[in-house]
Structure formats: C-alpha cells, structure tokens
A and B are shown apart, each in its own frame.
Chain A
Amino acid sequence: MRDTRYARIMVLKTEPFILNIGPVHPSTHGVFRMRTTLDGEVVVDVEPVFGYLHRGIEKLAEERTYTGVIPLTDRLDYVASMSNNLAYCLAVEKLAGISVPERAEYLRVILAELQRIASHLIAVGAFLNDCGAFFTPFLYMFREREKIVDLFEMVSGQRLLYNYMRIGGFNQDVPDEFLPALDKLLAQMPRFIEEYERLLKENEILLARAKGVGILPKEVAINISASGPVLRASGVKWDIRKKDPYSIYDRFDFDIPTGEVGDCYDRYRVRVEEMRQSLRIINQARRQLPAGEVKSEVPHLVRPPAGEAYAHIEAPKGELGFHLVSDNSIAPYRCHIRAPSLLNLTALRDMAIGWKVADLIIIFGSIDIVMGEIDR
C-alpha cells in the first residue's frame, strides 16, 4: 500500500517543451529563429526557420545592369562586402572575358584579405561573447576592425557596404594616404592578434565550454558541402585559394590552417590562425604591388555574350559562388548565389542535438553566419 503511494509521488511526469529562440534574440546574429525542442536544458530537436530578411536579391539582379548589381552584392554578407564584390566581379569578368590590370589584382587581394580579417574578428568576438565573456573580447576585436573599416572608408567612402570593386578593376585608384595607413596596420596587427590570444585562448572555462562541444565529423562536413573555416576545422584541407586559384592567389605563399576534431574550439582556432595567414598574404601583396592602371577598358554597359559562368572565391565564411546566365543583354538573365552561411548552417541540427541550450548558442555562434547571405 505504502509502496504504490510512494511510487506515484516519485514518478513526476515531464515532457519536452518548445522554445523559440529568435528571431529577435541577442545571440541569433540577425533575424534567425531556432524552433528548439527542449527536455529540461537538453536540446532534443532544432528546427531552423529563416526568411525574415528575404529581399529577393537574386531576382532584383535580373532587372539591373551588370554594374548595377554590385551594390546588391554588398547586402549579402554585409560584414564582408569586399569579398562579395570580388566574387561577383570575377563571375562577370569570366562571362564577358574581361581582363583586369595587374595593380587592380593586387589591390583586390589586399582588400579581400583585409576583409577576411575584419570578418573573422567579428566571428571570433561574437563567438566568445556567446560563450558569455561579457563583451570584452568582442570590443577588443572591434577596436582593430575599426582600423580596417577606416581603411575601407578611405578607398570607398563607406564603412559597411563598400561598393568599391568594378567589372574590370576599380573605378578609381586608392588614395595616397591608404598605403601608409595600411603599412601601419600591418605593423601593429600581429601584436594585436597576440593580445586576443592572451585574452582567452587557454582559459579553463572556455576550454570546458568549447572543447569537444558540437563536433562536426569530417564525412558529415563534406556531405553537407560545408566550406570555409567550418570545413577546415573538421580536418579537411580545402581552400579555394589553393585548390582553384582565382585572381592572383597562386603567386602567394601561405598555409591552410586546419583543426583536428571539428569542435567549436577548433573552429575558433582556425579563424584566428587564418587571420595570421591573411596578414602574410597582405604583406606579400603589399611588397609586390605594382604601379599602373586600376581599370581595364570596359564599356559603360557590359553586354556579355550569351552563355553561363560560375566563379567562386574563398570568402571569409566559405565558398561564395556566383552563377551568372547571360542572354546577351545588359542585365543578367539569371544570377544564382551560392551562399556559404546557408550551407554551413545545415550542420547545426546534427551538431547541437544532445547538448544544452547554452551549447546550442555557442555551436550556432561558431558556425558564423550572416543572415543577409542566408535569406538573400
């Protein structure tokens, strides 16, 4: 008699509940929504919901001239506009068979690598912020991102959406004060990266939080066609700058940093290491930078021959590709964008299930997505 009563009291009924994380939430890096099923604190299921930022960029591109699409590409990955411009311009140049002057190629490499550093600074800072380090690493990294943004402001007049590259080069050369400022930044930057490392690299709590959390196995990473730091952290040595060199990347000497396990900590480490490699590339490009024109002869309205072209680059977040179809008019017939954030995001569910809510947040942060690119 007593036993059954005891049993009835002790067996408490529990049930999983659904928690909507986002679309307005401090850690969703934009308007992303995770429909999360939780069993207490444990994540049972994650269903990503997105589309809140859809602007129809691919469709809008069909109604503009080839040059007029460049401002639209700024709005894809809005913390790495230069890389988007570069990928799009490469695609149009491939389609129309336009060559780019030597100086412009070097400047493109310098700007794209600066952009990679700026983007990784945000990624690492936001990741550490998601881990709960209350804004300190984030603001330290923003301090140097600010300097890079200042450089971009010098060349383009803009601080976020640069709209600087043009088909066939640039519309104007960099101003005189750009190169001295760049040299100054290049001299300072290694010390600052050391400083970020000292902040939290070996921190006991960070190791406990990030090591072994959200492992993305090599096979899964390849199968979902992940790219960028997410793929490389899983141990795959894949970098388009090496595997399919675009622009003039085959002239530079740099390494591809890879992780071993594919956990959040590896993704963080790979990004920091990539900043160092980017600095190496910029230093080489700066030394070899030739004088000369920055734009080849391109007609005001580019009218490529009918056909298709796909150009991809190693953007900060992964493989960014533009697939353009031309019908020999002044506007693209079709413009498809391969957004790295979207494909990397598909790994979220596999990585997060079984971990706690807090881990879900840092796993999501370690993928480093930008909603502008996912929703397009």
Chain B
Amino acid sequence: MILNSSLNSIAYSSTLPPDWPGGFWWHWLLFTVIIIVFALTLVMGFIWIERRGMGRMQARLGPNQAGPFGLLQPVADALKILLKEDIIPAKADRIVHWLAPVVAFAPALMIFAVVPFGDGAMLADLDIGILYVVAIASISAIGIFMAGWGSSNKYSMLGAMRGIASVVSYEIPVVLAIAGVVLVAGSMSLNQIVLAQDIPFILLQPLGFLLFFIGGCAEINRSPFDLMEADSELTAGFHTEYSGMKFAMFYLMEYAEAVAISAIIATLFLGGWRGPLLPPWLWFVLKVIFVFFIMVWTRTTLPRVRIDQLMALAWKFLFPLALINLIVTAIQILVWPDALPWILVPINLAIMALLILLWSKLFKLGWGRVEV
C-alpha cells in the first residue's frame, strides 16, 4: 500500500521539488528505498511466477501450500535457507569465497538506478544511462568468476569459465543491439529513450529486440544458455560449493538480474512506463513481468546448447546480424532524420525474417568432435 501510493505520487509528480530541505538527498533516499523494495518484491514475485508457471507448463501443480496459491513459497524458501549451515570448503580461498556473492548481487540492484518507473521517476537520470547499465551489468561476471575460483572445485571452475566466455562474447551483440536503439532515440538516457518511443522500438527494431533478448538471456544465465550452472552437467556450476545465505545471495542475484534485464528490455523496446489508462508504474511492472514470462516459457521448452554452440551463436549469428542491424538503422536515420515513420515497421520485420532465414542457412552451429 505504501509502495503503491509512493510510486503513484512519484509517477505523477515526476521528481521531488528541488527546494526540499536536504535537496537531492531526499530524492536519493526515497528512490534507494523504492528500488530495493521494488527489486526484492519483484524477485519474490518472479520466483513465484517461475515456479508456478513451470508447474503449469510441466503438467504438475507447483508449490501451492505456503499461503494462498503458494504465494508465500519464496518466504518459506528464504527462511529455510537462512537457517542452513554456512559451509566453506577446506581448500577454498576464504576471502574470495566470502566476497563473491556480494560482488555478484550488488550490480543487479545498481542497474535500477537509471531505470525510469514513470516520467523522470528514477534515481539518477544519467545522460549515459544505457552505457552505465552495460558497464554495471558486466560486473556480476567478476563475482561469478570469484565464486568459481574461490571454491577450489572443478565443477565451479568449469562453470565460471563458461560464464566468463559467454558474458564476454554476448556483450558485443547486446551493445550493438543497444546502439541501434540509441541511434533511433537520439539519446542514451533511458528516460529520453522511453519518451522517444511513440512507436515502441520492438516494432522499429525487431531484429535488435531479438538480439538483445537472446544476448540478455545468455548474459544472465537463463535457459537455453544456462551453461554456467547446467545442473545435468556441472551439478550446480559456479555455486556448487555455496550453502546457506551465500547460496541465497546467488539465487537472489539470478532473479534480480532477470528483473533487471526484463526491466531494460521493457524500457528499451516495449515503451517502458508508457501506456494508456493504467498508471505508468503499473504499465512498467506489467511489461517487466511479460518479458520475464517469456523467459520462463523458453526455459521450460528448450534444451541447453553446448559451449561451442553458445560461442558459435554469438560470433557467427548474433554479431554479424547486430552489425547489419546497426547499418540498416543508420541508413534509415539518414533517410528520415526527424522521426521514423510507421512504414518502416513491416519493412524492418521483413528484413529481420530475411536475414534470419539467410543466416541460418549459411552457417553450421559449433564444431562437434575434436580429435584427441
């Protein structure tokens, strides 16, 4: 209730008056609280959506005992995890092992600093907002590698290596896909990008959306790219040796990153907080949940790719397509310098279909067996 009213007031009054006592610190404090509450609540919601949604898709019920419709299941999980013993392997690098969950979790929250919940309702309207997101999002990879290295476990190490490889590779198509959006919007500030979306960018940049979605899934370790923790291969990947609250931090990180990437996708491609009738923050939340639901759907549907196929997908498919997308967008901007017209929507969709069909015929995924 408190969250609702405060979000509402922010959404309608954009930012707090600058002549408040204490100046921007009030703004800073309020939004820090809002972001933490928003992110953690949505994380719990996502855990519930994922578990119930997967249950539905897998011909079973999912958790339905804790609270109405099993809504309190994340709370029950958290309580259980808090009471677990914290085990540190004998040969672990204790400091790195201890620090890794924090390093991995913090960036996922920091991303929300530049995500607008309403017109201008954000912690900091950075001019380089999207650049900040890209930079911060990569930090989690360091935390994951610290976990893999510090655990002194071969499964963890393999998982961490895979994690680094995928983040380094997928950063490039993701950034190129973002560059297309930035070109169309003419600004790097996320609020300006939302304001520029009279036509949602998913229609103007369908290929960019697809690239960003796939790349985003790979970066945050969602299926079918969940190689870092591939449970059927590496037991639990980088967090094999974690238990108790440290494991909970990784678990939270996974979902906080999913919230973050869904929020970024909603902001960049689905028109962010814009929408008729409903209050802006609600539109934003609905779009975030929608994006996340698609991620749940792919997770229950698709098998996992292999590490060489993961790399091949990034470098042979996404990277060239992202470059072509950037060039095509640049040409369109040159032709229509003021605003892109509606006629581009079918054209861009056709270009996307053509490119994907062509590219999938041209290349082979992965390289298969190696002579040893």
With a cutoff of 8 Å between Cβ atoms, the chain B residues found around residue A131 in the complex are 232, 303-304
Known A44-B372, A354-B369, A354-B370; contact A206-B59, beta-carbon cutoff 8 A:
no
B368 interfacial by beta-carbon distance below 8 Å: yes
Q: Residue-by-residue, is B302-314 near A (CB-CB < 8 Å gives 1, otherwise 0)? A: 1111111100000
Task: Select A361's contact among B233, B299, B309, B368, beta carbons within 8 Å.
Answer: B233
Answer whether residue A17 sits at the interface, using C-beta atoms and an 8 A cutoff. Answer: yes
Query: Secondary structure at chain B's binding surface: helix, strand, loop or mixed?
Result: loop
Interface string of A41-54 (1 = CB under 8 A from B): 11110000000000
Docked complex: A167-203 residues within 8 A CB-CB of B: 200, 203
Judging by beta carbons under 8 Å apart, are A205 and B303 in contact?
yes
Let me know if B303 and A139 touch, CB within 8 A: no
Contact of A205 among B57, B300, B305, B308 (CB under 8 A): B305
Is there contact, CB below 8 Å, between A136 and B300? yes
* Known pairs A41-B307, A206-B303; A353 contacts B60 (CB<8 A): no
In the complex, whether B231 has a CB less than 8 A from a CB of chain A is yes
Interface size bracket, B side = 35 or more
Interface string of B52-70 (1 = CB under 8 A from A): 0010011110000000000
A357 to B304, CA, bound (A): 13
Q: Is A252 an interface residue (CB 8 A)?
A: no
B9 within 8 Å of A by Cβ?
Answer: no
Map CB proximity to A onto B128-155 as digits: 1 under 8 Å, 0 otherwise. Answer: 0000000000000000000000000011
Asked if B158 is at the interface of the complex by the 8 Å CB criterion, the answer is: yes
The reply to whether A27 and B233 contact each other, CB–CB distance below 8 Å, is yes
A358 vs B306: C-alpha distance when bound (angstroms): 6
Q: Are B371 and A209 neighbours in the complex by a CB distance under 8 Å?
A: no
Beta-carbon contact of A132 and B366 below 8 Å? no
Question: Beyond A19-B154, A206-B303, is A136–B232 a contact (Cβ under 8 Å)?
Answer: no
Please indicate the chain A residues that have their CB under 8 angstroms from the CB of B371 in the complex: 354
Q: Report Cα–Cα, A200/B299, bound state, in Å.
A: 13
Which residues on B sit within 8 Å (CB–CB) of A331? none
Q: List chain B residues, Cβ under 8 A from A209.
A: 303-306, 309
Interface residues of A in 199-218 (CB under 8 A from B): 200, 203, 205-206, 208-209, 212-213
Complex CA distance for A358 and B371, rounded to whole angstroms: 17
Docked complex Cα distance between A213 and B232 (Å):
17
Q: How far is the CA of A212 from the CA of B364 in the complex (A)?
A: 13
Give bound CA distance, A42 to B371, whole Å: 10
Kindly list chain A residues whose C-beta atoms are within 8 Å of the C-beta of B158.
19, 41, 357
* A273 CB–B CB distance under 8 Å: no
- Tell yes or no: A140 within 8 A of B by CB: yes
Instruction: A39 to B365: give the CA distance in the assembly, Å.
Output: 21
Residues of B within 8 A of A78 (CB): none
* Minimum distance in angstroms from B358 CB to a CB of chain A: 16
Please determine whether B59 and A140 come into contact, CB atoms closer than 8 angstroms: yes
Q: Does A133 sit at the interface, judged by CB under 8 A?
A: yes
B156 CB, nearest partner CB in chain A, Å? 11
Measured between alpha carbons, how far is A134 from B308 in the docked complex, in Å? 20
Q: Does B13 lie at the interface of the complex (its beta carbon under 8 Å from any beta carbon of A)?
A: no
A205 in contact with B307 given A129-B232, A130-B232, A139-B60 (CB within 8 Å): no
- Nearest B residue to A42, CB-CB: B370
The A-B contact count (CB < 8 A) is: 98
Interface residue from B54, B230, B368, B369 paired with A358 (Cβ < 8 Å):
B230
* CB of B41 within 8 Å of the partner chain: no
Q: B233 — which chain A residues lie within 8 A by C-beta? A: 27, 357-358, 361
0 or 1 for each of B162-203: is its CB under 8 Å from A? (1 = yes):
000000000000000000000000000000000000000000
Given known contacts A42-B370, A128-B303, A27 and B58 CB-to-CB distance under 8 angstroms = no
With CB as the reference atom, state the residue of chain A lying closest to B60: A139
Which residues of chain A are near B299, meaning CB under 8 Å?
134
Write out the residue numbers on chain B whose beta carbons fall within 8 Å of the beta carbon of A41: 158, 307-308
Contacts of A42 in B (CB 8 A): 370, 372
B residues 13-66 in Cβ contact with A at 8 Å: 54, 57-60
Q: In this assembly, does A113 line the interface, its C-beta being within 8 Å of a C-beta of chain B?
A: no
Q: Which of A136-151 contact B (CB under 8 A)?
A: 136, 139-140, 143
Residues of A within 8 A of B235 (CB): 25-26
A200: which B residues are within 8 A, CB to CB?
Answer: 303
Of B158, B235, B300, B369, most buried by chain A (CB within 10 Å of CB) is B369
Binary contact track A26-42/B, C-beta < 8 Å → 1, others 0: 11000000000001011
Contact check, B58 vs A136: say whether CB atoms are below 8 A apart: yes
In the complex, what residue of chain B is closest to A132 when comparing beta carbons?
B304
The residues of A that contact B308 with a CB separation of less than 8 Å are 41, 356
B80 to chain A, nearest CB (A): 20
CB-defined contacts of A133 to chain B, threshold 8 Å: 301-304
In the bound complex, how far is the Cα of B13 from the Cα of A31, in angstroms?
A: 62
Chain A residues within an 8 Å CB radius of B369? 213, 354-355
Nearest chain A CB to B222 CB, angstrom units: 11
Residues on A lying within 8 angstroms of B by beta carbon are: 17, 19, 25-27, 39, 41-44, 128-136, 139-140, 143, 200, 203, 205-206, 208-209, 212-213, 353-359, 361
